[in-house]
Structure 1
Amino acid sequence: MSKNPSFTLAFGTLMLTLGALAMGASVLFVRLADVGPFASAFWRVALALPPLALWAALAEGTRAFRPDRLSLLAGAFFAGDLFFWHLAILGTTVANATVLATTSPLWITAFAVLVLRQKVSRAGLLGLGLCIAGALALVGRSWQFDPQHLPGDAAGLATAIFFAGYFLAVSRARASRGAAAITLVSTATTALILLAVALIAEPTLWPASAGGLAALVALALVSQVGGQGLMAVGLASVPPAFGALVFFLEVASAAALGAMLLDEPITGLQAAGGALILAGIVVARPRARPPRTGEAGKDNSATGYREGRH
């Protein structure tokens, strides 16, 4: 990795962007899989384990297979994220679930400010506001409040909180472990938890067709190996409060794939929403600069950036 702060930041942002786009494809693959929601969540992580194990072995050797507290915690958080996401889809409208799930950057920013003591600039707050407005526009008028949907809406909010925990756990773990090891250990943890959930909640784990199996393999390779792996790589170089904004692109990716492959055309309002998300990311981007001689400041172990710069 280059020691140039601008290059490091650009590389990390690119990895997170590609990871968000890959994770956005999960909605498409889940729709094409012919298994229940909790079964598809289990297969997403279980089928990802062999390629992740190969990546970890090549990148870090046998030490990559040793569990650590933060990676185990990340896996537990991600299991909660997937569990509540599917409950939200079953218990409320997809639009409501999407809106509430995309509040995770709010929780990440709050944690970064209150616990990690990171400073968020006015540009960062403006970027967060633009991204939230963009996500709402992408969902459009489909979002609605209905008291009957409150349990599902609560599950959508829980999804955001669990993803925020996962995101921050991975960010902190990257201070001491490689991306391959973290992704492998956290995914294995998620798989064990979701296996228990699927065995209890689903009538069968097995896909009924070759097409369903292909969708599950694609879900594992694209959204889990690609999406989660790229996220872990990028979080070594990007502050978590900004990295969370990049993941608003996951919503834009889902909308774009729906338009291309599921005959769900993008409206003018949704196009404006995508533009707002891009604008928010550009506005909020950290301005990395090398330290001056003798400059005081504390290095942030989760991001690699000195506190107070963004």
Structure 2
Amino acid sequence: MPSPRTLPLLAFFSLLAGGMAIGFAGILMRLSDVNPIASAFWRMALAAPLLWLWAWRSRDGDAAAGKRLDFSLGLLLSGLYFAGDMSMWHLSLHMTTVANATLLSNFAPIFIAVWLWLAYRLRFSRLFLAGMGLATAGAILLVGGTADPADGNGGGHLLGDALGLGSAVFYAAYQLVIKQSRETYSTARLMAWSTTITGAALLPLAWASSGNLLPASAIGWLPLLGLALVAQIGGQTVIAYALAHLPAALGSVSLLIQPLTAAIAAWLIFGEAVMPLQMAGGALLLCGIWLAKRGS
């Protein structure tokens, strides 16, 4: 792994920026008037044409740089894993509390660290492990502080909790495949294929889900367009670029910036109060990301 002195700062801050962009996904989904999985589908469907235009325009540059232009298993898996993440997380939101679903879906760093240790016997520095633990604890405080004490179902929806945890497994797999595929594909081509495959996999689920598949009015397309431009292109695409230049474990820990962004955005847009415990969790999360960076 690169030392802190050689860690590419542009990629690291790009990763944080991408994570913050994705933090707005839940806000935009709440503003849309289609069913949750349909909002995920439209996020892909509206982003894909722009990504394919980018991939087409960069084709000659990719060929000159020795990047692959063909299709591969890695491209297929990246789309399927992300579809698994999106569908399981959106379903979990209907079966458990928002706090549980959001928290469990952000356990991806732990699964990535376990996989790297099992598959490659990769050893992590104590500073990195401390940072990952601190960031995870911060996320627990941050998201756990949003749970409604009056809601007696917070811990009882086992299937919803299992789906939330399953989404973290799929997101961990997605990050690992994206990092590996970026070694041979450009960001444009990788994200064009991944987004298209994810959208194709989500369409039948969105069609079968209860609720609207299409917005009820023209203005209803605005949140969906925001999901495509902010979360998918401004978020996942920037993350795909950054993961090519950063250790996988550090990248996953740094993406815990998402629940912090979501909490701040919900406070600013919807007036949802941020409790002192959540503030403490946010501070721990940022300190944990900084320690993980230092220990990578």
Cα distance, 1:201 vs structure 2:
2.1
Alignment partner, residue 40 of structure 2 = 41
Of 219, 234, 238, which residue of structure 1 is paired with 2:242? 234
Cα distance, 1:237 vs structure 2:
0.8
Cα distance, 1:58 vs structure 2:
2.3
Query: RMSD in angstroms over aligned alpha carbons?
Result: 2.1
Listed one character per residue, the Cα deviations across residues 130-180 of structure 1 (whole Å, up to 9, x for unaligned) are 111110111234458756400101110111001001011101111111111
Q: What percentage of residue pairs aligned between the two structures are identical?
A: 40
Of 180, 186, 189, which residue of structure 2 is paired with 1:181? 189
Alignment partner, residue 96 of structure 2 = 92
Alignment partner, residue 54 of structure 1 = 53
Specify the SS of the correspondent of 2:120.
coil
8 Å CA contact 1:30–1:37 kept in 2: the answer is: yes
Cα distance, 1:66 vs structure 2:
3.4
Alignment partner, residue 293 of structure 1 = none
Cα distance, 1:6 vs structure 2:
4.2
Alignment partner, residue 155 of structure 1 = 163
8 Å CA contact 1:29–1:215 kept in 2: the answer is: yes
Alignment partner, residue 19 of structure 1 = 18
8 Å CA contact 1:92–1:153 kept in 2: the answer is: yes
Specify the SS of the correspondent of 1:168.
helix
Alignment of 1:63-212 (within 5 A): 66-143=70-147, 148-202=156-210, 204-212=212-220
Corresponding pairs, count: 286
Alignment partner, residue 255 of structure 2 = 247
Contiguous gaps of at least 5 residues in structure 2: none
Cα distance, 1:112 vs structure 2:
1.6
8 Å CA contact 1:38–1:202 kept in 2: the answer is: no
CA distance in 2, matches of 1:14, 1:27: 22
8 Å CA contact 2:24–2:261 kept in 1: the answer is: yes
Amino acid at match of 2:18: G
Tell me the TM-score normalized by structure 1: 0.87
CA distance in 2, matches of 1:81, 1:203: 20
CA distance in 2, matches of 1:60, 1:247: 29
8 Å CA contact 1:39–1:202 kept in 2: the answer is: no
* 1:129–1:145 distance in 2 versus 1, CA, 3 Å: farther
* 1:147–1:99 distance in 2 versus 1, CA, 3 Å: closer
Tell me the TM-score normalized by structure 2: 0.91
Amino acid at match of 2:171: F
8 Å CA contact 2:145–2:278 kept in 1: the answer is: no
Contiguous gaps of at least 5 residues in structure 1: 288-309
If asked which structure has higher relative contact order (CA below 8 Å, sep 6+), I would say 2
* Residue range with higher mean Cα deviation, 198-207 or 210-219: 198-207
